[in-house]
Amino acid sequence: MTPARQPTGKFARPAFLASADPVDARPAPALDLAVLSTAPPATIHAALDGLHGEDIAYLVARQPLDVAERVLRALSAELAAQVVECLDSDRRADLVERLGIPHAARILDEMKADERADTLGELDAPVAEAVMAQMEPAQAAEARTLAKWPEHSAGAHMTTEALRVAQNLNVAEVEALVRKHGAEAETVYYVFVVSPTGVLAGVVSLRELLLADPVRRVADIMRPDVVAVHPSQSIEDAARLISHYNLIALPVIDGERCLLGLVTVDDVMDIIADTTTADFHRVGAVQPVDTSYFHTKPVTWFAKRAPWLVGLFLGEILTGDMLSGFESVFQRVTALVFFIPLILSSGGNAGSQSASIVIRALAVGEVRLGHALRVLAREASMGVALGLLLGTIGVARALIWGNGGDLAIVVGTSLVCVVLTGTVLGSMMPMLLERLGLDPAVSSTPFIASLSDLLGILVYFSIAKAVLGL
């Protein structure tokens, strides 16, 4: 097999990252930031100036705050802004406060509009106001505008740095404007055509501009049917539109269709990653955290995990109490006890499968609340089919152990009923939470499994009493 070609030039991974153990995900000590931070500021800047902001942030995030602060102070405001944008929220807020109001203001002036607003939102209110008082008035006003939108809305994550042109310009004039103002824009791949009052009239891509006749009016080549989002809509709605239409950026408009800004695909990818991580945590019965695994303190993990475990433990106590209520039944037929783990695990596993599938389908928009009956029918039929499969195996096992035909019927029937119950419960619980306005991921798989255990005990011994005449 031909070895993969390694990238070169500015796209090459820096040596201190390329030589890192991919499993350990830590940089090799080729660049010791702690030692470098003791050098004069000019030396620090010269050593880091050729690196990508993301790579510097990778190193800064793994250093004590005093080292990280010295490094940021040595960088230019523009490069420091790139680094700060790539840091976790808690780390970013701590460093901005340590840098002091004037220095922090210079850095925030160079940040992207949405990142600037996020960073200010992470600071204590008095500190944020003090920083904005030192910032450029236009940037401060823009940050206040973005801050008025809810945290998970498209408006909170948009940038106002969009390329806007008038309808009466020709292609050559628009190209000249792109060259003049492109460096200030979030993206140059889309140019938005607006009316004199700021109403979004259409969009033209950079490709269409370059291929068009320079004397043609931009209004003649633009696409008027622009896909857009309202600032109050959720960022997940924006993500779905960007994914569905394969967009690089999505315009944000108000009720009069005036262009307010745009949401870019890179911002959406960050949000999707954060949302997916939070959903994974909830599905695993863990309260989400905002920081990475190693940057989250053990006491924080304990606080996030303990409440769920205690709740699940109390649920299993109820299962034990219910089991003790059937003590007389399994004392008379001891062999019933042998099949309890098999029955309960089957129902819990089936319910967890259904919950995971439906939660994901709700998250990506494949399933909506109006599909509840269709989902119920599909999962119920799937539960019967899976139950019959597992029931057949359970009956065979009971007969092989020599437990008799009656017990084999109890095991087989119970498996069908318990698996059916698990799939229905696992599929409907996320739908119910969605209806109540809660996060469907809260119906975690351990929670579904615990509830299935409780119902499984009731179903199993009720069928045993009926079939065996106990």
DSSP 3-state of 100? coil
Report DSSP letters for 232-294, one per residue. TSBHHHHHHHHHHHT-SEEEEE-TT-BEEEEEEHHHHHHHHHHHHHHHHHHHTT----SS-TT
Domain covering 15-148 assigned CATH 1.25.60.10 in the classification: yes
**Domain boundaries in the chain?**
15-148, 164-270, 298-468
Q: Give, rounded to a whole angstrom, the gap between the first and last alpha carbons of the chain.
A: 67
| Torsion of Cα atoms, 266 then 267 then 270 then 271, to 10° | -140
Supply the DSSP string of 179-230, one letter for each residue: HHHGGGSS-SSEEEEE-TT-BEEEEEEHHHHHHS-TTSBHHHHSBS----B-
Return the CATH superfamily for domain 164-270: CBS-domain (3.10.580.10)
Residue range 298-468 in CATH 1.10.357.20: yes
Task: List the chain pLDDT tens, one digit each, 470 residues.
Answer: 333 333 333 334 444 444 444 334 444 335 778 788 888 888 888 888 888 888 888 888 888 888 889 999 999 999 999 999 888 877 888 888 888 899 999 999 998 887 888 888 888 888 888 999 999 988 888 888 888 888 788 888 888 888 999 999 999 999 999 998 888 788 888 999 999 999 999 999 999 999 999 999 999 999 998 999 999 998 888 988 998 888 989 999 998 899 999 998 887 887 777 777 777 777 666 777 766 666 677 888 788 788 878 877 887 788 777 777 777 777 777 788 888 888 888 998 898 889 888 988 887 778 888 899 999 999 999 999 999 999 999 999 888 877 778 889 999 999 999 999 999 999 998 888 888 887 777 666 677 878 888 888 889 888 988 888 76
**Nearest by Cα to 33 from 73, 72, 60:** 60
